[in-house]
Amino acid sequence: MNRDRLRNLLAEYGKLALYVYLAIFVVVLAGFALAIQMGFRVESAAGQAGIWGAAWVATKLAQPLRILATLALTPLLAQLLRRRKPAEDAARRDQPRP
């Protein structure tokens, strides 16, 4: 069901929803990698690959939560950006043109 809601969100908000989803993915992946790395000492490239592999698996397990976060944050961010845009447009109109 969350995936259907995510598809609807993508249809409504377009690129913004995709950017929010990807930003959450990257933050969660990096967070898991950091947490895993802090748990043990890695001294080889294979160990680094193991950290990122384990972080990816943990990130995939957290996917339902990431989708819910995307569903919650995207409309809020869109509303914030809509409020900010008219203020920027008004500021541009008030500037004298050469």
Q: Please count the other Cβ atoms lying within 10 Å of the Cβ belonging to residue 51.
A: 18
The string of pLDDT tens digits covering residues 62-96 is 998 998 898 899 999 999 988 877 665 655 655 66
Q: Is the pLDDT of residue 42 over 90?
A: no
Residue 20: what are its φ and ψ, rounded to 5°?
-65, -45
Geometric angle at alpha carbon 69, from 21 and 5, rounded to 5°? 75
Residue-level length of the chain: 98
Treating both helix axes as pointing N-terminal to C-terminal, what angle do 63-94 and 45-61 enclose, rounded to 10 degrees?
90
Residue 62: what are its φ and ψ, rounded to 5°?
-90, 5
How does DSSP classify residue 95? S
pTM: 0.69
Q: Is the pLDDT of residue 40 over 70?
A: no
